[in-house]
Structure 1
Amino acid sequence: MISTVGTSQLTAETIANYFIWQARETGSYISNLKLQKLVYYAQAWYLAIYDQPLFDDDFEAWIHGSVIPKLYEQYKQFAWMPILKEVEKPNFSNEINEFLEQVTEIYFGCDTFELEQMIHREDPWINARGNLPMDSPCNAIISKESMREYYKQRAAEKE
C-alpha cells in the first residue's frame, strides 16, 4: 500500500527532492542556490494560499537570498554545479502535487540569478535583513508570518 505524505509530514528536504526529481525528469539544471529559491517560493505561496506552512523549517536572509541552512549543507558539495542526486518522486497528496506543479510552472524556468533578484526585491527578505548592506552576511530568520502576509497580498493583487 502506498501512502501519501500530508503537510504534517513534509520537510524542506521532501520538497527539495520534488524539485531535484523534476530537474532530472526534464533534463534541467538545478543548483543548490536555485533549489533554495524554489523551496522558498513553495513555502511562501503555500503560506499565502492555505494559511499554514508547507513544512516547519525556517529560511534565513543570506546574501544570495533565502536559505535553509541544513538544506544548504546537504547540497553545498555541488557548489554552482547541477545537483546530481538520484531521487524518487515524493508521493504527495493530490493537493500538494497540484500545488507543486503550479510552483514549478511559474518558477522552474527562471534561472538562478533571476530568482535571486526577485527575492532581493521582496519585503520578507528585505525586512529580515533590516539595514544591512546587500553584501553583508546575515542569519536573520525570514518569518513565516512576513512571507504569508506578503504573498497573500500579492495573490489578492492578481485577482
Structure 2
Amino acid sequence: MENTQSRPDATIFDLAAAILARTGEIATMRLHKLAFYAQAWHLVWDEELLTDAAFFAWGTGPVSPELHATHPGVFLIRDVPGNPEVFTAAQLESIDEVVSAYGGLRPYVLNAVVKSEAPWQDAWAGTAPGERGRIIEVERMLSFYSALEGEPVAEFAAAQAE
C-alpha cells in the first residue's frame, strides 16, 4: 500500500481544526482520541494517512505530542492554529464518520474503547509507571482496524444507547 508511505500535506493542527469545526469546544483528550481514530479509519477506508501526525500511547490514550505541546494542562480546547479547508471531500467524510461514531461516547467509554484495542495496548506494553509509551505504529493501526471490517465502535455505540 504505497499511499501510506507518502507524507500528507495536512498537519495534526489541520485535523484538530477540522474536528473542532464539527464538535465545538471539546475536552483535550477527546480531541486527541478523535484525531487518532480519524487517522486510523481514513487509512483503512481510503488507504492513505490524513495527516503527518504521529500518535503515542500515553496513560490517557493516544496522544499527538506535537498537538499536546500547544495546550499542556488545558482541559477544554476551542481552537488550534490549523486549516480545516485543506482536506478533500473524501477526507472530510472520514472525519465526519469518526466524529459521528466516537464523538458522542461518554468520556469513560471512549477511554475504555481505545485502551481495549491492540494498537494502544501494544505501544503501551511494558511502559513503567509515570512514563509515556511508544509510538503507535501505522502498520498496526491498519491491520487492527481493517480487521473490524469498516465498522467503528458499533457494539459500544449500541450498548451506550441502551
Give the TM-score, by structure 1 length: 0.80
Contact 1:58-1:141 within 8 A present in 2 as well = yes
Q: Specify whether residues 109 and 58 from structure 1 end up closer, same or farther in structure 2 by C-alpha distance, changes over 3 A only.
A: same
**What's the Cα RMSD here?**
2.4
Deviation, structure 1 residue 86: 7.5
Contact 1:21-1:89 within 8 A present in 2 as well = no
Give the structure, 1 or 2, with the largest relative contact order (CA under 8 Å, sep 6 or more): 1
Match of 1:69 in 2: 65
Match of 1:4 in 2: none
Misfit runs of 4+, over 3 Å? 86-89
* Residue correspondence of structure 1 range 132-147 to structure 2 within 5 A: 132=127, 136-147=130-141
CA deviations over 1:69-101 (Å, ceiling 9, x no partner): 0101112242x2x21337787222211122211
1:35 aligns with 2:27: no
Match of 2:53 in 1: 57
1:109 aligned residue (93, 104, 112): 104
Q: Specify whether residues 115 and 50 from structure 1 end up closer, same or farther in structure 2 by C-alpha distance, changes over 3 A only.
A: same
Q: Specify whether residues 86 and 44 from structure 1 end up closer, same or farther in structure 2 by C-alpha distance, changes over 3 A only.
A: closer
Match of 2:12 in 1: 12
Unmatched runs of 5 consecutive residues or more in structure 1: 1-6
Contact 1:20-1:87 within 8 A present in 2 as well = no
Q: How many residues align?
A: 145
Tell me how far apart the structure 1 counterparts of residues 142 and 78 of structure 2 sit (CA, whole Å): 32
CA deviations over 1:31-66 (Å, ceiling 9, x no partner): 110000000000111121222221122111101110
Q: Specify whether residues 132 and 51 from structure 1 end up closer, same or farther in structure 2 by C-alpha distance, changes over 3 A only.
A: same
Tell me how far apart the structure 2 counterparts of residues 49 and 39 of structure 1 sit (CA, whole Å): 15
Q: What fraction of aligned residue pairs are identical, expressed as a percent?
A: 27
1:123 aligned residue (114, 118, 125): 118
Give the TM-score, by structure 2 length: 0.78
